[in-house]
């Protein structure tokens, strides 16, 4: 979310999910919405039924793309070129919003100068999208009164993820499509509480509410509240930890409810790191691939066995409520953390989760009006919520951006970290399927979901398959510079020739043994969407 | 056969209090979040009875739960043994049941007793008293006039209520209803001619209150004549997002699957879970072959079942016009949309 | 049967969902009709939200690796072992030799407590989670 934070000052969905259905034009970039965010897709389709235009930018012909007014099937990784091309056309045809640019933004001249150097013929070659289609998309988006851009990991999981996001923000600001209801830029969050975990400061460089640890003012604030001296240096990011090699910087880890063995890129390195640790403790519902490597495993209570809050994509803080007592000897994670803290000489005697939230409200400005009793009735509160009487905030950046003026940051196309060559001629893209979720820890224990999707499939264009003499359903070996797995082929026009696609849900085909840990230098988001691979028949 | 009585609204809560002592009482209640659901009445004092909104689900989850343990099993080298488990619910009175949900229960009665008598459903059903409530004002998505089982109906209810303003006209349709009237006669008085006439007047008015025109009969005829274009199924299947929500909220969808869940190496439980014919796994065979082409044919099958096969078999469609699948559908592939597409010449 | 409103645990949409409880077991899941996100419906994962809760593969006791094998132990033993190990590494190699992964699947309160634990008790800012994955 570094991209939006730089341009708008706040890295979150600017709208509420319900606003999407009132938009006149929806630009969906790098989001397989029908499978990964069904409720958002439902609003998009409702909007289409009301006459809205849907533009989908995706290398794959997803179901959403089939429902679109315009599908731009770009070459993977050419998002910036395409967006710059759209902006150049908007500028040339005078479709930009002068007043908005003047009143609400800064650094426009830098963007303009960069756009004047964009060659539309080159854009056509680079993106593989005909110029007239790029122009149609640009005109549709720019001319709308109410236009929403939704993007997801197809934008961020690139080496140029931050620049991708900034290009999207540039496009929205250029046309004045921010800071209104039914109009905005909406990153969709992949997991139920990504937003909340970030808000709570489960990040190496910031305390709750994105207050930097390196800033002495904030450090003093938390030192005072917690009664301890706090470390000054920002910490290591996830990949720095899980790729540290075991006997490197990190020697002991505590992992709560995550499964880096399947979820992190270049998983062979992750395994070497975890195996090499002096100590690993894991808390989870199931004995995950990561927990299997641990020295200590804590059995965690599930969401049905505890109380707490989670924050969704549209910044809505909601309760999860206890339905049954913890099963067996499981404990809610909060109890485990408190017990560890007490044993290490720092008691955290909270009587309830509501009391924890009271401390959060005290130290986290955007949550300062959020208390459990306010969440008991109604449907939660959307941050920022500045006090007990504050009703929450359905859409951001009304009247002004969080950072004051929106800041244009021109972005140039950046090549992917690894491109196809003779040895690895195909591009691998990874993502999710509708019936499964993340590393499958929960969803693969659901009989109905497992019946619908119980194994990894490699989507392969029939033209490529023909060249390799691979038939529908046949087992193939997929190899990158980092590893090799076997899985079944699914021949489909959904992927273009030269590209293959699969998911990371299944431990039998751990695709992240193949993906690259090359990451965006600012957001540290790994390039899951592009690496070079080859496909071979598995000889019988 | 049926007899008509008057119950003053002032006496409704006192009557429910008496009924609550004799039965487990289930009624539509609005919870603190604002949703209206059928729920067990814990206290008549504090119950937030809501007769103004359609309960978001039918009684299906009570009579045919989403997931239930139907047997325990043991298995070892020597063989296996199944020990059926029957839930034995207390006698339950469901209050405020609309005509669509009553019709759906009659349909489930047929499904669960037609070939073999299904003991889990019927066990609950036999312990059930149904108190119906006619709909003076249909809800926005309703079209039970088109499926011909509402908005007024006496079929299925032990007692049927009609709201006459300050009082209910009460019709005892079945023996259980008569039992209630005769057990607590102090609450009931004889209905007068004018009150019965008013009920018919309300019925006429209610029939004019539907906001949706869903030509179910036309779609049935076109399906019977094989006149529905293949493009219709194609269009619907493109939008279906495979959530199974339509089947799960449908009061007449009764498909289920059986799942064995091990508790140890030699024992476990057999679960019965709701299933949906729109899932690819519903028809896929063990070898991986699927005789029903995913999506398009599955969607087609769903609507044919409701509006063709059941008409052939039972003389009426198994859609009861409750409208629940309409505004929940992600992609707009609900039955009203189908009827609309199928009826286009 | 009792229905308790909660929030779905899968994607970032945050649907309002009722869990159905009967006899101490969660036996079903259904959408909230008036919830602003779910508006009466759930996706396929939401409708089957109850299915993993009572799965027999759930961990039910703490495990400690003994002679190479994860073995059931008491909470006290698991906690003591963990605090001893963390304390020893911190003393020998400094607080920055420890790393913590929080979770986008856990609650705000749990994430808050874990980052507080990491910073105030372990004494390092080495905390992150899989926001980018």
- Asked if residue C118 and residue C71 are part of one domain, the reply reads yes
B275: closest chain A residue by CA: A448
- Hey, are the CB atoms on B61 and C1 less than 8 Å from each other? yes
Q: Which chain A residues are closer than 8 Å to C33 by Cβ?
A: none
Residues 271-310 of B with CB under 8 A from C: 273
Provide the 3-class DSSP secondary structure of residue A486: strand
**What is the rounded distance in angstroms from the CA atom of residue B339 to the CA atom of residue B307?**
10
Top residue of C30, C42, C56, C57 to mutate, by most chain B CBs within 10 Å, is C30
Residues C95, C48 within the same domain: no
Whether residue C121 is found in the same domain as residue C67: yes
Same domain for C74 and C101, yes or no, is yes
pLDDT at A253: 96
Mean pLDDT value across residues A252-268: 91
Q: Sign (positive/negative) of CA torsion A442, A444, A445, A447?
A: positive
* Domain co-membership, C90 together with C121: yes
Mean pLDDT of the residues in chain C: 93
pLDDT band (50, 70, 90) for residue A8 = low
Q: How far apart are CA A187 and CA A184, in angstroms?
A: 10
Same domain, C119 and C94: yes
Q: Does residue A313 register a pLDDT over 50?
A: yes
Q: Which two tokens stand for residue B306?
A: 């409701």
CATH number for the domain harbouring residue C26: 2.20.25.90
Helix (H) or strand (E) holding A298: strand A296-299
Alpha carbons B98 and B160: distance in angstroms, whole number: 9
CA distance A125 to chain C (A): 30
Residue B330 is nearest to which of A42, A378, A451, comparing CB atoms? A42
Give yes or no: residues C44 and C68 share one domain: no
Question: What number of other Cβ atoms are within 10 A of residue C36's Cβ?
Answer: 20
Tokens of B320: 């009861």
B259 to A447: CB separation less than 8 angstroms, yes or no: yes
Domains, chain A, ranges and CATH?
A: 2-188 (3.40.228.10), 194-382 (3.40.50.740), 426-537 (2.40.40.20)
For residue B273, list chain C residues with Cβ-Cβ distance below 8 A: 51
Give me the half-sphere count of Cα atoms (radius 13 Å) on the Cβ side of residue C106: 34
How large is the C-alpha radius of gyration of chain B?
22
Please tell me whether residues C119 and C76 are part of one structural domain.
yes
Which 8-state DSSP code applies to residue A294?
Answer: -
Residues C16 and C42 in one domain: yes
Contacts of B79 (CB under 8 A, 6+ apart): none
**Band of residue A399 on the pLDDT scale cut at 50, 70, 90:** low
Give the model confidence (pLDDT) of B288-334 as tens digits: 777 777 677 888 889 999 999 999 999 999 999 999 999 788 778 88
B76-108 tens-digit pLDDT: 888 889 999 887 789 999 999 999 999 999 999
In a domain, C79, yes or no: yes
The pLDDT tens digits for C81-110 are 999 999 999 999 999 999 999 999 999 999
Higher pLDDT, A193 or A184: A193
Q: Which CATH number fits domain B3-207: 3.40.640, 3.40.1090, 3.40.50, 3.90.120?
A: 3.40.640
- Does residue C133 fall inside a structural domain? no
Task: Tell me if C60 and A329 make a contact (CB, 8 A cut-off).
Answer: yes
Please report how many Cα atoms fall inside a 13 Å half-sphere around the Cα of residue B297, on the Cβ side.
Answer: 9
For residue A200, is pLDDT > 70?
yes
Sign of the alpha-carbon dihedral angle for A91, A93, A94, A95: negative
Whether residue A283 has pLDDT greater than 80: yes
Domain count, chain C: 2
ipTM, interface predicted TM-score of the complex: 0.97
* A518-532 core/surface letters (b: 16 or more CB in 10 A; e: else): bbbebbbbbbbbbbb
Mapping DSSP to helix (H, G, I), strand (E, B) and coil, where does residue B259 land? Answer: strand
SS3 call for B13: helix
Question: Would you give the DSSP letter of residue A511?
Answer: G
pLDDT at B164 over 50: yes
Cβ atoms of C128 and A237 closer than 8 Å: yes
Cα–Cα distance, A284 to A294 (Å, whole number): 11
C127, B268, B180: which is closest to A255 by C-alpha?
A: C127
Query: Does residue A257 carry a pLDDT above 80?
Result: yes
- The residue with tokens 């970030």 is A198
The CA-atom distances, in angstroms, between A291 and each of A265, A301, A353, C57 are 18, 15, 26, 13
**Position B2 confidence tier, pLDDT thresholds 50, 70, 90:** low
- Mean pLDDT in residue range A53-64: 92
Chain B CB within 8 Å of residue C64 CB: no
Residue A1 has what pLDDT?
A: 47
Please list, residue by residue across A434-445, b when 16 or more beta carbons sit within 10 angstroms of its beta carbon and e when fewer do: bbbbbbbbbbbb
Question: Among C127, B279, B75, B216, which Cα is nearest to A206's?
Answer: C127
- What phi, psi does A106 have (nearest 5°)? -140, 165
- Residue C65 contacts A where some CB pair is shorter than 8 Å: yes
Residues in contact with A377: Cβ distance below 8 Å, sequence separation at least 6, in sequence order: B32, B33
How far is B185 from chain C, CA to nearest CA, in Å? 31
The arithmetic mean of pLDDT across residues B212-219, rounded, is 92
Q: Which residue in A155, A193, A276, A444 has the most chain C C-beta atoms within 10 A of its own C-beta, making it the best mutation to test that interface? A: A193
**Band of the pLDDT at B1, cuts 50, 70, 90?**
very low
**Average pLDDT value for residue range A439-446:** 80
Cβ proximity of B67 and B271 under 8 Å: yes
DSSP E strands, A19-141: 25-29, 53-57, 70-72, 105-106
| pLDDT at residue C133 greater than cutoff 90 | no
Confidence (pLDDT) at A18: 83
Compute the CA torsion angle B178, B183, B188, B191 (nearest 10 deg).
30
Task: Give the model confidence (pLDDT) of B134-159 as tens digits.
Answer: 999 999 999 999 999 989 988 889 99
The answer to whether A230 and C106 are in contact (CB under 8 A) is: no
Average pLDDT over residues C59-69: 96
Candidates C2, C28, C41; nearest CB to B245: C41
The residue extents of the domains of chain B are 3-207, 216-343
Query: Is C7 inside any structural domain?
Result: yes
Q: What is the pLDDT of residue A352?
A: 96
Put simply, whether C65 touches B (Cβ < 8 Å) is no
Triad C34, B98, B156: Cα angle to 5°: 145
Interface test with B, best of C17, C36, C40 (most B CBs within 10 A): C40
CA-based nearest residue to A353, from A379, A329, A376: A376
| Mean model confidence pLDDT for chain A | 90
Q: What confidence score (pLDDT) does residue A179 get?
A: 67
CB hemisphere CA count around A317 (13 angstroms) = 32
What pLDDT does A9 receive? Answer: 59
pLDDT > 50? residue A64 = yes
Strand partners, B154: none
Give the residue from chain C lying closest to B24, CA to CA. Answer: C1
Q: Within this chain, do residues C117 and C68 fall inside the same structural domain, yes or no?
A: yes
In a shared domain, residues C83 and C45: no
Do residues A109 and A102 touch, judged by C-beta distance below 8 A? no
Residues A335-346 have pLDDT tens digits of: 999 999 999 999
When pLDDT is averaged across residues A513-523 and rounded to a whole number, the result is 83
- C120 within a domain of the structure (yes/no): yes
Range of C100's domain? Answer: 63-128
The candidate with the shortest Cα–Cα distance to A4, out of A103, A196, A12, is: A12
The three state secondary structure string of C55-98 is CCCCCCCCEEEECCEEEECCHHHHHHHHHHHHHHHHHHHCHHHE
Distance CA C65, CA A241 (A): 22
CB contact under 8 A, A318 and C4: no
Tell me the pLDDT band of A447, cut-offs 50, 70 and 90: confident
- What the block records as the tokens of A168 is 């999207």
Question: What pLDDT shows up at residue A430?
Answer: 87
Q: Are A169 and A4 in contact (CB under 8 A)?
A: yes
Q: Which pLDDT belongs to residue A403?
A: 67
Q: Higher-confidence residue: B262 or B28?
A: B28
Task: Give me the mean pLDDT over the B181-190 stretch.
Answer: 95
Cβ-defined contact of C79 to A340 (cutoff 8 Å): yes
How far is residue A507's CA from residue C54's CA, in Å, rounded to a whole number? 22
pLDDT of residue A192: 86
Residue reference for tokens 């398959």: A465
Q: What is the mean pLDDT of residues A8-33?
A: 82
Q: Do C92 and B299 contact (CB within 8 A), yes or no?
A: no
C39 shares its domain with C67: no
- Indicate yes or no: CB of B242 within 8 angstroms of CB of A434: yes
Residue B282 is classified by DSSP as: G
Mean pLDDT of A490-509: 89
- Can you spell out the DSSP letters for A456-471? -EEEE-HHHHHHHT--
Please count the CA atoms within 13 angstroms of the CA of B66 that sit on its side-chain side. Answer: 27
> Taking the CB of residue A292, how many other CB atoms lie within 10 A of it?
13
Q: Is residue C111 part of a domain?
A: yes
| C24-53 residues touching A, CB cutoff 8 A | 24-26, 34-38, 41, 43-45, 48, 50-53
Q: Which residue of B has its CA nearest to A34?
A: B241
Give the CA-trace dihedral at B251, B254, B260, B263, to 10 degrees.
30
Which residues sit opposite B170 in a β-bridge? B5, B161
Sheet with B24-30, edge to edge strand ranges: B36-40, B24-30, B92-97, B128-133, B159-163, B167-172, B3-8, B188-190
Tell me what the mean pLDDT of segment A285-313 comes to: 95
Alpha carbon of A92: minimum distance to chain C alpha carbons (Å): 36
How far is residue A105 from each of residues A96, B293, C60, measured CA to CA in Å? 13, 53, 55
H/E stretch holding A101 reads helix A98-104
φ, ψ (nearest 5 deg) of residue B251: -70, -10
Q: Which residues of A touch B (CB under 8 A)?
A: 34, 38-39, 41-42, 45-46, 49, 63, 66-67, 376-379, 434-435, 447-448, 451-452, 473
Could you please report the per-residue DSSP string of B134-179?
--SS--TT--HHHHTS-SS--TT-SEEEEE-SSEEEEEE-SHHHHH
Chains that touch C (3 or more CB pairs under 8 A): A, B
CA distance B183 to A207: 67
Residue C57 within a domain = no
* Lookup: tokens for A446: 């659901």
Domain's final residue, options C52, C76, C91: C52
Q: How confident is the model at residue C132 (pLDDT cuts 50, 70, 90)?
A: low
């Amino acid at each position: 979310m570094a991209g939006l934070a730089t341009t708008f000052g706040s890295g979150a969905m600017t709208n509420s999910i319900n606003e999407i259905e009132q938009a006149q034009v929806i630009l969906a970039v790098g989001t397989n919405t029908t499978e990964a965010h069904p409720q958002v897709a439902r609003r998009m389709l409702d909007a289409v039924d009301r006459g809205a235009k849907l533009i989908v930018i995706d290398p794959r012909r997803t179901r959403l793309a089939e429902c679109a007014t315009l599908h731009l099937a770009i070459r993977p990784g050419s998002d910036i070129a395409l967006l710059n091309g759209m902006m150049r056309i908007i500028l040339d045809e005078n479709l930009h919003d002068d007043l908005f640019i003047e009143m609400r933004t800064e650094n426009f001249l830098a963007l303009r100068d960069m756009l004047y150097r964009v060659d539309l013929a080159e854009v056509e070659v680079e993106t593989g999208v005909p110029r007239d289609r790029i122009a149609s998309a640009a005109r549709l988006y720019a001319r709308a009164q109410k236009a929403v851009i939704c993007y997801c990991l197809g934008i961020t999981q690139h080496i140029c993820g931050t620049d991708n996001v900034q290009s999207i923000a540039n496009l929205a600001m250029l046309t004045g499509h921010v800071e209104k209801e039914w109009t905005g830029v909406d990153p969709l969050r992949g997991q139920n509480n990504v937003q909340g975990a970030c808000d709570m400061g489960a990040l190496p460089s910031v305390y709750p509410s994105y207050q930097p640890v390196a800033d002495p003012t904030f450090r003093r604030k938390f030192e005072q509240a917690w009664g301890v001296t706090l470390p000054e240096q920002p910490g290591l990011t996830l990949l720095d930890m899980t790729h540290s090699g075991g006997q490197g910087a990190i020697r002991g880890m505590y992992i709560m409810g995550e499964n880096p063995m399947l979820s992190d890129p270049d998983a062979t390195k992750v395994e070497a790191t975890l195996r090499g640790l002096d100590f690993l403790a894991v808390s989870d519902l199931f004995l995950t691939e990561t927990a299997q490597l641990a020295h200590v495993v804590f059995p965690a209570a599930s969401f049905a066995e505890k109380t707490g809050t989670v924050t969704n994509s549209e910044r809505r803080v909601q309760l999860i409520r206890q339905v049954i007592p913890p099963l067996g000897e499981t404990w809610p994670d909060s109890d485990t953390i408190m017990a560890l803290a007490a044993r290490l000489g720092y008691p955290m005697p909270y009587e309830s989760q509501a009391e924890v939230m009271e401390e959060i409200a005290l130290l986290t400005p955007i949550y300062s009006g959020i208390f459990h009793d306010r969440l008991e009735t109604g449907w939660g509160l959307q941050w920022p919520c500045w006090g007990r009487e504050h009703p929450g905030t359905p859409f951001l950046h009304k009247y002004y951006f969080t950072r004051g003026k929106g800041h244009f940051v021109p972005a140039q196309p950046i090549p992917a970290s690894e491109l196809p060559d003779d040895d690895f001629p195909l591009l691998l893209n990874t993502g999710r399927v509708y019936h499964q979720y993340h590393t499958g820890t929960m969803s693969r224990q659901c009989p109905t979901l497992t019946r619908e999707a119980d194994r990894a499939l490699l989507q392969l264009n029939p033209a490529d398959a023909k060249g390799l003499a691979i038939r529908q359903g046949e087992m193939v070996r997929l190899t990158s510079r980092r590893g090799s797995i076997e899985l079944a082929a699914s021949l489909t026009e959904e992927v273009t020739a030269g590209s293959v696609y699969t998911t990371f849900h299944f431990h039998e085909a751990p695709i992240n043994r193949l993906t690259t840990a090359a990451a965006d230098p600012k957001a540290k988001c790994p390039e899951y969407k592009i690496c070079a691979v080859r496909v071979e028949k598995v000889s019988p | 056969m049926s007899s008509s009585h008057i119950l003053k609204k002032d006496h409704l809560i006192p009557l429910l209090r008496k009924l609550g002592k004799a039965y487990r009482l289930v009624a539509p209640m609005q919870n603190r979040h604002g949703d209206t659901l059928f729920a067990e009445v814990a206290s008549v004092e504090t119950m937030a009875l809501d007769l103004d909104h359609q309960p978001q689900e039918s009684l299906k989850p009570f009579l045919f739960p989403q997931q239930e343990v139907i047997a325990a099993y043991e298995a070892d080298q020597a063989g296996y043994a199944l020990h059926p488990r029957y839930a034995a619910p207390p006698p339950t009175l469901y209050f405020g049941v609309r005509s669509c949900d009553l019709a759906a229960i009659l349909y489930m009665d047929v499904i669960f007793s037609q070939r073999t008598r299904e003991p889990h459903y019927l066990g609950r059903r036999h312990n059930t008293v149904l108190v119906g409530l006619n709909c003076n004002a249909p809800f926005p998505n309703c079209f039970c006039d088109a499926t011909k089982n509402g908005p007024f109906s006496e079929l299925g209810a032990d007692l049927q209520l009609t709201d006459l303003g300050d009082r209910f006209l009460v019709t005892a349709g079945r023996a259980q209803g008569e039992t209630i009237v005769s057990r607590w006669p102090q609450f009931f008085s004889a209905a007068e001619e004018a009150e019965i006439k008013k009920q018919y007047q309300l019925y006429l008015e209610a029939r004019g209150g539907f906001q949706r025109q869903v030509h179910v009969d036309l779609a049935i005829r076109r399906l019977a004549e094989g006149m529905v274009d293949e493009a219709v199924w194609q269009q619907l299947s493109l939008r279906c997002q495979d959530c199974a929500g339509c089947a799960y909220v449908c009061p007449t969808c009764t498909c289920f699957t059986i799942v064995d869940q091990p508790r140890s190496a030699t024992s476990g439980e057999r679960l019965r879970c709701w299933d949906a014919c729109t899932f690819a796994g519903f028809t896929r065979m063990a070898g991986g072959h699927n005789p029903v082409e995913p999506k398009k044919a599955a969607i087609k099958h769903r609507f044919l079942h409701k509006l063709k096969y059941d008409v052939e078999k039972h003389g009426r469609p198994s859609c009861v016009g409750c409208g629940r699948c309409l505004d929940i559908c992600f992609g707009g592939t609900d039955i009203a949309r189908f009827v609309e597409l199928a009826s286009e010449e | 049967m009792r229905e308790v409103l909660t929030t779905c645990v899968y994607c970032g949409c945050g649907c309002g969902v009722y869990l159905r409880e009967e006899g101490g077991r969660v036996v079903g899941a259904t959408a909230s009709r008036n919830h602003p996100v779910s508006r009466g419906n759930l996706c396929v994962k939401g409708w089957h939200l109850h299915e993993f809760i009572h799965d027999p593969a759930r961990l039910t006791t703490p495990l400690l690796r003994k002679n190479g094998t994860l073995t059931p132990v008491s909470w006290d033993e698991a906690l003591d072992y963990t605090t001893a190990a963390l304390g020893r590494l911190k003393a020998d190699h400094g607080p920055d030799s420890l790393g913590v992964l929080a979770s986008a699947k856990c609650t705000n309160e749990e994430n808050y407590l874990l980052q507080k634990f990491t910073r105030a008790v372990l004494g390092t800012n080495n905390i992150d989670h899989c926001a980018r994955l």
